[in-house]
Amino acid sequence: MYNAKAYSATSATSRLAATRISRRDPTEHDVQLEILFCGICHSDVHSVRNEWSDVMPTVYPIVPGHEIVGRVTRVGSAVTRYKAGDLVAVGCLVDSDGTCPHCRDGLEQFCPNLTLTFNSKDEHLGGVTYGGYSDSVVVDERFVLRVPSTLDLAGAAPLLCAGITTYSPMRHWNVGKGKKVGVIGLGGLGHMGVKFADAFGAHVVVFTTSPRKKEDALRLGADEVVVSRDADEMRKHAGSFDFILDTVSADHDLDAYVNLLRRDGNLTLVGAPAKPLGVSAFGLIMGRRSVSGSSIGGIAETQEMLDFCGAHGITADVEVIPIQKVNEAYERLLKSDVKYRFSIDMASLRSE
Ligand code: NAP
Ligand code: ZN
């Protein structure tokens, strides 16, 4: 065991502050990495504030962060895929049972025995796992990913959650040429959704509550932008979408979007508001439309996504911040004031 620097919150109402945490020494299958950048996901905010208490109550202190890129510092004796000096990444998952039907299908995110990067039972040290707002982390090599060398590291970190969470459902629902695709909410997930839908060749429409984001949406790859508070603008798109990705983090009117789907169209929720969202039965019945959900992506698909990003030069648009600004960043995230992901430069923690 060794001591690592980290930022943690000690209750749902406290600010994140500097602390020391215990990390395990690498076992024979583990990779230890020095964390270089960690993205700030809205899930970090939901978890720190215990907004998902019904589904996954937060254990304090919490060290959030699951968009990690870093450099390998040490590997266990049985590690074959990585060596010291490699640029690697860790996302939302750090372990799973490896034997259940989901794991066998490469869909570890649905494993009933998965271990999340933070706020999951820590099988090695007891207590809960601690995430990426830290100077280092130790992870089983099966959950470590390779970062294409061409990618900017600050912008690559958010691919590990915002990237895979939008890439995976778009692949699953065959987003591509000839498809009309909507993305609701232009935040961390939403802006990655726009980049992927555009790269897959779809006609992309962004729905935003922030008129000031219109130009950015077009620059990021949208073909059209709809300010969702404008009912007339919404009506123009009735019954026309093959697929809509909903990334909104707060309560909102789902029916308004279900009505924009064509026959057999699908709306996939990846945004995870704390309270249930209502859907009118008629909106679904009339047109055989569906509403479904999606959770991050499996390890193989995450590597596929990173390689796709490497080949197409895709990274997140980031505002790099020192960790000392993390509380301010949370407040700004809650006001939809981020372009379009905060990425923490972990050198700022090392110098504390
Ligand atoms: P984010 O950067 O804060 O983006 C959310 C966007 O939603 C905002 O930028 C805003 O876009 C829109 N929005 C916010 N409040 C709204 C409201 N009251 N009504 C309508 N639109 C609103 O958050 P994120 O990091 O992308 O995460 C989004 C959600 O996905 C969170 O709930 C997060 O926990 C969840 N998530 C799920 C998964 C998964 O595996 N399913 C993975 C990661 C994150 P505009 O300004 O454009 O309207
Ligand atoms: Zn996330």
Q: What is the mean pLDDT of residues 149-165?
A: 98
**Using 50, 70 and 90 to split pLDDT, how confident is the model at 352?**
confident
Confidence at residue 170, expressed as pLDDT on a 0 to 100 scale: 98
Q: What is the pTM of this model?
A: 0.98
Q: What angle do helix axes 299-312 and 162-172 make, rounded to 10 degrees?
A: 100
How far, in Å, from the CA of 46 to the mean position of ligand 2?
10
**Using 50, 70 and 90 to split pLDDT, how confident is the model at 272?**
very high
**Spans of all domains in the chain:** 2-161+297-350, 163-293
Could you report the per-residue pLDDT of 177-232, keeping only the tens digit for each? Answer: 999 999 999 999 999 999 999 999 999 999 999 999 999 999 999 999 999 999 99
Ligand 1 pocket member 66 (CB < 6 A): no
**Using 50, 70 and 90 to split pLDDT, how confident is the model at 26?**
very high
Ligand 1 pocket member 42 (CB < 6 A): yes
How far, in Å, from the CA of 27 to the mean position of ligand 1?
37
Confidence at residue 333, expressed as pLDDT on a 0 to 100 scale: 96
Homologous superfamily of domain range 2-161+297-350: Medium-chain alcohol dehydrogenases, catalytic domain (3.90.180.10)
Residue nearest to atom 10 of ligand 1 (CA): 185
Q: What is the mean pLDDT of residues 29-45?
A: 98
List the structure tokens of 164.
Answer: 């895979």
Q: Work out which ligand 1 atom sits closest to the CA atom of 45.
A: 34
Could you report the per-residue pLDDT of 57-101, keeping only the tens digit for each? Answer: 999 999 999 999 999 999 999 999 999 999 999 999 999 999 999
How far, in Å, from the CA of 60 to the mean position of ligand 1?
24
* Pocket perturbation via mutation, ligand 1, pick of 119, 205, 249, 342 by most ligand atoms within 8 A of CB: 249
- Ligand nearest to the backbone CA of 131: 2
Ligand 1 pocket member 50 (CB < 6 A): no
- What topology does CATH give the domain 163-293? Rossmann fold (3.40.50)
Confidence at residue 287, expressed as pLDDT on a 0 to 100 scale: 96
pLDDT at 261 over 90: yes
How far, in Å, from the CA of 287 to the mean position of ligand 2?
32
